[in-house]
């Protein structure tokens, strides 16, 4: 009965971006203390310890509750044909501040994303721009630094990872 009382009505969520809804549900349904305790106990006793099993089961049940609630909201909003709202700048800034995400973290993520894409094959500036949400001088500066550091190699109109360099036959 408690879950019935705590379930938000989808009509109350009109105009709220889904990531904020998901964040709120996860904050209410999941138990960060249990997650931290579980991580600490796994470090101390190992994942197969008998001490871990009941706590892991509790965490799994809480995670299932949160997942079921998110599914319910998505299905109900689909039935009511409510549009999914994108995150605005203020929402994204609020989430970044809440989780302690800094400009450096974003820059590090962008660089990792570019290197990951380049490791899979050649990429262009346009593909990088779409993947890391950066363009113009900021994108040029980032790729130039990656090339200078040897993490990325200029290849015609795009880039590739250094290890995917074409082999030169010596004969």
pTM for the full predicted model: 0.57
Indicate the domain borders of the chain: 2-91, 102-163
CB atoms within 10 A of CB 146: 19
CATH class of 102-163: mainly alpha
CA distance 92 to 98: 10
DSSP string, 25-85: HHHHHS-HHHHHHHHHHHHHH-TT-TTHHHHHHHHHHHHHHHHHHHHHHHHHHHHTTPPPP
Strongest mean pLDDT among 64-68, 70-74, 144-148, 156-160: 144-148
Helix axes 103-120, 136-148, angle to 10 degrees: 60
Question: What does the alpha-carbon distance between residue 51 and residue 79 come to, in Å, rounded to a whole number?
Answer: 43
pLDDT recorded at residue 37: 84
Q: Strands across the sheet with 123-124, in order?
A: 123-124, 158-160, 153-155
pLDDT tens track for 22-43: 888 887 777 777 778 888 888 8
pLDDT at 118 over 80: yes
**pLDDT tens digits for 52-98?**
888 888 888 888 888 898 888 888 888 888 777 778 889 888 888 88
Do 157 and 123 form a contact (C-beta atoms < 8 A)? no
């Amino acid at each position: 009965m408690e879950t019935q009382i705590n379930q938000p009505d989808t009509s109350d969520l009109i105009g709220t971006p889904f990531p904020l809804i998901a964040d709120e549900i996860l904050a209410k349904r999941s138990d960060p203390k249990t997650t931290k305790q579980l991580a600490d106990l796994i470090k101390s006793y190992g994942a197969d310890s008998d001490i871990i099993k009941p706590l892991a089961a509790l965490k799994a049940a809480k995670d299932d509750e949160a997942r079921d609630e998110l599914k319910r909201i998505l299905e109900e909003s689909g039935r009511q044909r409510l549009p999914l709202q994108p995150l605005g700048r203020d929402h994204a800034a609020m989430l970044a501040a809440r989780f302690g995400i800094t400009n450096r973290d974003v820059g590090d993520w962008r660089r990792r994303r570019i290197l990951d894409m380049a490791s899979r094959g050649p990429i262009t500036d346009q593909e990088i721009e779409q993947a890391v949400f950066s363009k113009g001088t900021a994108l040029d500066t980032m790729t130039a630094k990656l090339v200078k550091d040897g993490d990325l190699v200029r290849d015609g109109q795009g880039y590739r990872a250094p290890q995917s360099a074409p082999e030169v036959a010596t004969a």
